[in-house]
Amino acid sequence: MTGETIRTVAPGGTIGMLGGGQLGRMTALAAAQLGYKTHVFSPDADSPCAQVSAAETVALYSDHEALAKFARSVDVVTLEWENIPVQTLAFLAKFVPVHPGPGVLAIAQDRLLEKDFVNRLGIATAPWEPARCPGQAATAYQTIGTPCVMKSARMGYDGKGQIKLTGDTAPVDAWKSIGGVDAIVEGFVDFALEVSVIVARGQDGEMVAYPAVENRHANHILDETIAPAAIAPETAAEAERVALRIADALRFVGVLAVEMFVTRNGGVLVNELAPRPHNSGHWTMDACASSQFEQLVRAVCGLPLGSVERVADAVMKNLIGDDVESWPDLLAEPGARLHLYGKAEARPGRKMGHVTRLKPLARAP
């Protein structure tokens, strides 16, 4: 217990959702199952979340008049995208509880602050150096060595805003190519696989963690998640311990995803944090007693957290771009659980839906 005040929102209340994407959509559906309404705030009309929500506000995140009106219409605010301006959350917090809060968001949306926060907890990451200017970019490159990767400190995702450095590109030119913005230079890690652990943490400090899952990428975008990851029990336990430690240190309320590398010797290195439901947790909708989306609703509304018991093993496959055209075959496939996001246009690299295939629980040897 944290000693913090628990502000319970009873069923029948309204959850304010910042961001209108598919994560908001699936959270709104989970909220409806528990008797809550969702009011989405997004700059985009007819968003995936708005299609299944009770109310929609279409306005910029800088529109204080619209934000104030939105805040007065909801009982609690959460988010489905970590790049909401911190100032937006701070403004809303004057009117209504906001989870996660602006302080958490400030850390999670800046790779430099994020890496420093994790390292200060005594948790390992890949070696890294800041590159906020041309001089730092050159120094960081010399310190880290090749191969390495330069990433913009903010806003990059799915491979955007980053460049691999192998010695062929001058670090200052690389820094300019990603926009000449605050950046980070990270050393490459010889890892066995990538995993993530999703933690739900309530207002009272109660925490539950889903098992570590393996994530496989294609073109820098998550392609498949395999639940649970085929790693040693002690490695899985360490990944869970690390994720829980970070969530608790942040005094997080909601759902936090911690992405990690598993090294060849079974160690874990934190890669990134996502302060919201995560693509690698979609399998929980079909294979767990409570999904990651239900956990978010429970946490922000001050309810007891749900069970993370796994009722099946699972493989989740993203449907990217034209992959969604296979929906008739997926609907006809026995055991396939199809989830489509209501997006009108299938573009290359755009997440249009996912399919989860369940398998019987593996028995321990």
pLDDT tens digits, one per residue of 7-28: 999 999 999 999 999 999 999 9
In this structure, what are the phi and psi dihedrals at residue 225, rounded to the nearest 5 degrees?
A: -120, 130
Element (H, E) at 144: helix 134-144
- The counts of H helices and E strands in the chain are 11, 17
In this structure, what are the phi and psi dihedrals at residue 297, rounded to the nearest 5 degrees?
A: -60, -45
CATH placement of domain 191-359: 3.30.470.20
CATH C-level class of 14-109: alpha beta
Check pLDDT > 90 for residue 285.
yes
Give the residue numbers of the binding site for ATP: 111, 151, 156-162, 186-189, 194, 217, 271-272
Nearest CA among 53, 102, 94, 78 for reference residue 301:
78
Q: What is the mean pLDDT of residues 283-289?
A: 98
Q: Identify the weakest region by mean pLDDT among 66-70, 137-141, 223-227, 251-255.
A: 137-141
Local structure of 72: helix, strand or coil? helix
Q: What is the mean pLDDT of residues 218-231?
A: 95
* Angle formed at CA 357 by CA 323 and CA 296, multiple of 5 degrees: 90
Give the DSSP per-residue string, 83-136. Answer: TS-HHHHHHHTTTS-BSS-HHHHHHHT-HHHHHHHHHHTT--B--EEEESSHHH
Q: What is the pLDDT of residue 165?
A: 87
pLDDT-based confidence at residue 146 (cuts at 50, 70, 90): confident
* Domain boundaries of the chain, sorted by first residue: 14-109, 127-187, 191-359
Q: What is the mean pLDDT of residues 310-328?
A: 97
Please state whether the peptide bond connecting residue 228 to the residue before it is cis, i.e. omega within 30 degrees of 0.
yes
pLDDT-based confidence at residue 365 (cuts at 50, 70, 90): very low
Q: What is the pLDDT of residue 179?
A: 87
Check pLDDT > 80 for residue 158.
no
Q: What is the pLDDT of residue 356?
A: 98
Higher pLDDT, 241 or 155: 241
Give the residue numbers of the binding site: 111, 151, 156-162, 186-189, 194, 217, 271-272
pLDDT tens digit sequence for 174-214: 888 888 899 999 998 889 999 999 999 999 999 999 999 99
pLDDT tens digit sequence for 51-99: 999 999 999 999 999 999 999 999 999 999 999 999 999 999 999 999 9
Check pLDDT > 60 for residue 3.
no
Give the percent of the chain with pLDDT over 70: 97
Q: Please give the CATH superfamily to which domain 127-187 belongs.
A: ATP-grasp fold, A domain (3.30.1490.20)
Q: What is the pLDDT of residue 310?
A: 96
Q: What is the pLDDT of residue 339?
A: 98
pLDDT tens digit sequence for 329-349: 999 999 899 999 999 999 999
Check pLDDT > 60 for residue 351.
yes
Check pLDDT > 50 for residue 2.
no
Nearest-angstrom CA–CA distance, 262 and 119: 17
Q: What is the pLDDT of residue 261?
A: 97
Q: What is the pLDDT of residue 18?
A: 98
Give the DSSP per-residue string, 172-217. Answer: HHHHHHTTS-SEEEEE---EEEEEEEEEEE-TTS-EEEPPPEEEEE
| Mean pLDDT of the chain, nearest integer | 94
